[in-house]
A and B are shown apart, each in its own frame.
Chain A
């Protein structure tokens, strides 16, 4: 009886893993398709659709845009999140509870609504649609994450070291830059790469706030209108690969921090 239960459990897990990986396997497999359609039978492997994807100037430009927006918005989100976390952890701030709630609020609002709000605001102010507008939007969604991660890592044990540095004559910015930031680097790193993955994959804000120059998810969306093509598989596999690399980097850092402490 126990053994039947055990093998049933394993069988269930295998079926579910199959379900989880099915679309990814199909995506990647048919990116190596030799013929025109990404459906069975599989004729390959061939790299022609990767060549087609990387030969497409719009796609490569969008890829560059996506990386730029992700890096810029994540960097800014980490800096702002760090400032907020430091301020709330080290000083008494009036109404701190409410203000922390305000900073965390974008977490519980869907991206569609955040994007709509920015579109209407920018439209009213006459700010044109641009990659800068998307970057601003991505900072809005990632700032609460970075703040939450960094705030949870600001412990009391760091306060004494900061105080010691101050006693030895360090100025405020020196303490921040040479003492606090290095002690928190795993959290800074985690915040940055988590933000990178969210920005890299984000569609709806980018769709609403750009027009011609746009990010990769939006460009892939444009490709979809012309139907199924192995070229979309190829660029989709690249997007997936980059996301996985970011996730693995993140995991490696988090794992390392856990085993250290």
Chain B
């Protein structure tokens, strides 16, 4: 009798943590892991007019490698993302540096908040705003025409340039945040010590500041890569359909053709590429966390 009560109490104690961590874990299992499994299963199906019939075939994956236009979408995505990542770092680093070094301490928070304010608006509204800027009769063309630089408007929207510009705008803000954070973590004494030992400004930057802020750059670059690879809105609104990126290709499968099996396979391939990027930057991501 006594032992039974004790046993019950022990098992009650044991179950208690699961009362707390159980529901959130169940939620993640039901609405994140299970959908993933479903996508994996459906990617092996064969497409029919009804959507798909169960089968076990790698045909959808084979199609990606066999169809040059599908494969090209992945290449386009990687090219655009690489360009965006590099440009964003090159533009954001000096801005973060100016805010951290040239702006008086008490104004830094405000300067940083202003620098990322448009960050808070949705992809749709942000991309639409760039469309206005780049339109045939938009602000840029208008200014260049009235300055006499151009004699007739140039096409800026519906180009790869527009996609890259829209992305860079977003990621400059994001990277300014992460790089600013890592610049602020540097103790000023490091720089003074290097200067005392005779290092020039450039040497201090190349040998001290840059290596020590590298983890911040990698974290930002990783976020840029994941978010840019998976974004559908920016290329669709600004780039148009002249050349497709992976997310556009995936959305096209479900939108126009209702081809869930192929869309699943393409999604998982996209995800695999992002995972490879994650693994290759995991070393620096871990440094940042500790």
Contact = CB atoms under 8 A, between A and B. Distances in A.
Interface of A: 6, 9-10, 12-13, 16-17, 19-24, 26-27, 30, 37-40, 80-81, 83-84, 86-88, 90-93, 99, 102-103, 105-106, 108-114, 116-121, 123-124, 136-137, 139-140, 143, 147, 172, 197, 200-204, 208, 217, 220-221, 224, 228, 232-233, 236, 239-240, 243-244, 246-247, 251, 255
A163 B91 CA distance: 51
A23 B172 CA distance: 14
Contacts of B98: 9-10, 12-13
B237 A87 contact: no
Given A20-B115, A116-B39, A236 B120 contact: no
B230 A201 contact: no
Contacts of B32: 105-106, 114, 117, 140
12 contacts: A12-B94, A23-B132, A38-B132, A40-B139, A84-B21, A90-B20, A92-B17, A103-B24, A110-B227, A117-B39, A120-B35, A220-B128
A39 B39 contact: no
A80 B137 contact: no
Contacts of B56: none
B146 to A, nearest CB: 9
Contact of A244 (B24, B95, B120, B126): B120
Given A116-B250, A220-B124, 15 more contacts: A12-B98, A16-B115, A24-B118, A26-B133, A40-B138, A91-B17, A93-B21, A109-B271, A112-B250, A113-B39, A116-B263, A117-B35, A117-B36, A172-B16, A240-B118
A239 B173 contact: no
A10 B18 CA distance: 55
B185 to A, nearest CB: 16
Contacts of B82: none
B39 A217 contact: no
A96 B29 CA distance: 15
Top 3 nearest A-B pairs by Cβ distance? A110-B230, A117-B35, A87-B20
A102 B36 CA distance: 13
Interface residues of B, number: 77
Nearest to B131: A228
A90 to B, nearest CB: 8
Given A38-B132, A40-B142, A20 B173 contact: yes
Contacts of B24: 80-81, 83-84, 103, 143, 147
Contacts of B31: 118, 121, 136-137, 139-140
Given A17-B114, A113-B267, A240-B121, A102 B33 contact: yes
A81 B28 CA distance: 11
Given A87-B17, A116-B264, A228-B135, A39 B122 contact: no
Nearest to A12: B94
A246 B117 CA distance: 11
A137 B28 CA distance: 10
Interface string B175-201: 000000000000000000000000000
A143 B28 contact: yes
A109 B268 CA distance: 11
Nearest to A251: B113
B221 interface: no
B89 interface: no
A17 to B, nearest CB: 7
A141 B39 CA distance: 18
Interface in B120-151: 120-126, 128-133, 135, 137-139, 142
A83 B250 CA distance: 36
Nearest to B227: A110
